[in-house]
Amino acid sequence: MTSAIDKNSLLEAEAWELLEESVIYYQGKPIGTVAAHDPQSDALNYDQCFLRDFVPSALVFLMHGKAEIVRNFLVETLKLQSHEKQIDCFEPGAGLMPASFKVHSNGNEEFLVADFGELAIARVPPIDSCMWWILLLRAYEKATGDLTLARQPDFQAGIKLILDLCLVHRFSMYPTMLVPDGAFMIDRRMGVYEHPLEIQVLFYASLRAASELLIPDEDGGDTYLGKVNRRLGSLKYHIRNYYWLDLKRLGEIYRYKDNEFGKEIVNKFNINSESIPTWLTEWLPETGGYLAGNLGPGRIDFRFFALGNLMAILASLASEKESQSIMNLFAQRWQDLIGYMPVKICFPAMDGLEWRIVTGCDSKNRAWSYHNGGNWPVLLWLFTAAALKAGRTELAQAAVAIAERRLFKDKFPEYYDGNNGRLIGKEARIYQTWSIAGLLAAKKLLENPEYLELISFAEGLEVPGCSL
Ligand code: GLC
């Protein structure tokens, strides 16, 4: 009879094997992982290495001392970074990192072909790629202690190019970053344009990483550091003050006056209390809270987005008290946010006329499917890491146990559907790499919470004078 421990390690070995099968080689060296290895579906672009999808794989490799693949990935993707703005409007802006890349060959010669969104469905720009790249560079440093890679001139230049792209002043009145719809993991039209939380939190975390990685130098290094630290301060102030939602805050918004003008006003963004959705007043628990999905002129998107909230805990963008409230929300709305498969990508789903208008009748994003309220196993590693950082280990253990019970049997689907994530996603691929890596990373984090340092940031360690 096999014991529970044996069974557990057998399953883990199976997941490892699947992860290793997903590795992409370039000129004989491992450089990334394919998005999915589904023998039954048309590959489309799932045979490519997506930068965001590689993050959990990279963390797993780093946790197992296999840093070479991560180093190769960082080196090769840096070479792909866009450098010049061309006249053709479909050329990517300088600094942008691709959404994905693939190895092509011409006879014996291999080369990489990158997609900056010019081939992707709906031609969406992957704004999160450059942010994940910086975060991964920091994780690589933390895991290996190798400080030389990020200090190489080409890496310093790459970081600065990303900062040029992200810190540029365009038409925004806020310190948050103005982006088009579908610029991150949710890469379809979902009403996540303007100032979506997911991008703002990644922006904040990547600025924190950049401030650690940049060398102050004569040719402008200090200027960059100064800019980064100023932006960190105002971003943190803005998000903490204006995105945060709990019962107290909801009560304030409910009693807002509108059309206020001038400096000392309460309703700065002209939010109309009638825009508070009816589900929210019942749903928000007494001791729970979260960061709203978006904030713009006359609009708060009250939906709950998991990645932004979890990453806000890891980046210490949410205060310690807020982090506890976010975890309380998970604990008290467990069926909605975790259900039969951690974690719900956003809550609630849009349906009917709202779905028609906001998604443009996107059939893949019908209510409670895919990005529109589906459950994504990849988010398990973020949930586990955030729960551990907030000292809520029991929640992480419970979520990992739920995922483990189903993922092997279901062959690691990309996503699940239904209010509580009970069904395998309608068009989900199986053997989706980040579902495999998400579970492996979560288990490793539970085993050894010290790995948290690869991806988390302590509160208040910004440069003095800039923290709030
Ligand atoms: C889908 C997801 C995106 C992911 C890609 C590859 O397009 O929306 O987030 O990176 O698939 O898995």
With tokens 């630290």, the residue in question is 229
Can you give the pLDDT at residue 218?
65
Sorted by sequence, the CB contacts under 8 Å of residue 446 that are 6+ apart come out as: 384, 388, 393, 396, 397, 400
3-state secondary structure the chain: CCCHHHHHHHHHHHHHHHHHHCEEEECCEEEEECCECCCCCCCCCCCCEEHHHHHHHHHHHHHCCCCHHHHHHHHHHHHHCCCCCCCCCCCCCCCCCCCEEEEEEECCEEEEEEECCCCCHHHCCCHHHHHHHHHHHHHHHHHHCCCHHHHCHHHHHHHHHHHHHHHCCCCCCCCCCCECCCCCCCCCCCCCCECEHHHHHHHHHHHHHHHHHCCCCCCCHHHHHHHHHHHHHHHHHHHHHHCEECHHHHHHHHCCCCCCCCCCCCCCCCCCHHHCCHHHHHHCCCCCCEEEEEEECCEEEEEEEHHHHHHHHHCCCCCHHHHHHHHHHHHHCHHHHCCCCCCECEECCCCHHHHHHHHCCCHHHCCCECCECCECCCHHHHHHHHHHHCCCHHHHHHHHHHHHHHHCCCCCCCCEECCCCCEECCCCCCCEHHHHHHHHHHHHHHHCHHHHHHCCCCCCCCCCCCCC
Residues 227 and 211 sit within 8 Å (Cβ to Cβ)? no
Residue with tokens 């290895």: 37
How far CA 93 is from CA of 126, 161, 162, 220, 385, in Å, comes to: 11, 10, 10, 21, 33
- Tell me the pLDDT tens digit for each residue of 92-145: 788 999 999 999 999 989 999 999 988 888 788 899 999 999 999 999 999 999
Left if phi > 0, otherwise alpha if psi is -120 to 50, otherwise beta: which for 397? alpha
The alpha carbon of 141 is separated from its chain's Cα centroid by a whole number of angstroms, namely: 20
User: Would you say residue 221 has pLDDT above 70?
Assistant: no
Of 158-167, 213-222, 370-379, 445-454, the poorest mean pLDDT is in 213-222
Q: Quote the tokens at residue 391.
A: 């000292």
Instruction: Provide the residue type at 118 as one letter.
Output: E
The stretch 383-387 carries a mean pLDDT of 98
Q: For residues 433 and 413, what is the distance between their CA atoms, to the nearest angstrom?
A: 9
Tell how far the Cα of 116 is from the centroid of ligand 1, in angstroms.
13
For 431-443, the pLDDT digits (tens) are 999 999 999 999 9
Ligand 1, residue 371: give the atom nearest the CA: 8
Given the CA of residue 432, which atom of ligand 1 is nearest to it? 12
Query: Could you tell me what percent of the chain has a pLDDT over 70?
Result: 95
Q: What is the arithmetic mean of pLDDT over 372-376?
A: 98
Give, using CA atoms, the residue closest to atom 9 of ligand 1: 185
Which atom of ligand 1 lies nearest, measured to the CA of 414? 12
Q: From ligand 1's centre to the CA of 461, what distance in Å?
A: 33
Å from CA of 179 to ligand 1 middle: 18
Residue nearest to atom 4 of ligand 1 (CA): 185
Asked if residue 343 has a cis previous peptide bond (ω within 30° of 0), the answer is: yes
Structure-model confidence comparison of residues 2 and 377, the more confident one:
377
Give the closest residue (by CA) to ligand 1 atom 2.
Answer: 185
pLDDT at residue number 86: 53
Confidence class of residue 299 from pLDDT cuts 50, 70 and 90?
very high
Share above pLDDT 90 across residues of the chain, in percent, rounded to a whole number: 85
For 467, other C-beta atoms within 10 Å of its C-beta total: 15
User: Does the pLDDT value for residue 272 go beyond 50?
Assistant: yes
Q: How far is the CA of 455 from the centre of ligand 1 (A)?
A: 21
Ligand 1: residues within 6 Å at CB? 35, 50, 52-53, 185, 187
Categorize the per-residue pLDDT at 8 as very low, low, confident or very high, splitting at 50, 70 and 90: confident
Radius of gyration of the chain (CA): 21
Give the separation between CA 169 and CA 452, rounded to whole angstroms: 33
* Rounded distance from Cα 85 to ligand 1 centre (Å): 26
359 vs 89, higher pLDDT: 359
What's the pLDDT score for residue 118? 81
pLDDT for residue 41: 81
pLDDT tens for 448-466 read 999 999 999 999 755 433 4
How many A from CA of 434 to the centre of ligand 1? 10
Expressed in angstroms and rounded, the spacing between residue 255 Cα and the centre of ligand 1 is 40
pLDDT tens across 24-81, in order?
999 999 999 999 998 888 888 899 999 999 999 999 999 999 999 999 999 999 999 9
Mean per-residue pLDDT over the chain, rounded:
93
Please tell me the distance between residue 223's alpha carbon and the centre of ligand 1 in angstroms: 35
The residue to mutate among 24, 37, 49, 53, having the most atoms of ligand 1 within 8 angstroms of its beta carbon, is 53
Those residues with Cβ within 8 angstroms of residue 246's Cβ, 6 or more apart along the chain or in another chain: 284, 288, 289, 290, 325
| Protein residue with least CA distance to atom 12, ligand 1 | 35
- Please, which pLDDT band fits residue 468 given cuts at 50, 70 and 90? very low
Q: What does the pLDDT read at residue 155?
A: 98
- What is residue 219's predicted lDDT score, i.e. its pLDDT? 62
pLDDT of residue 44: 82
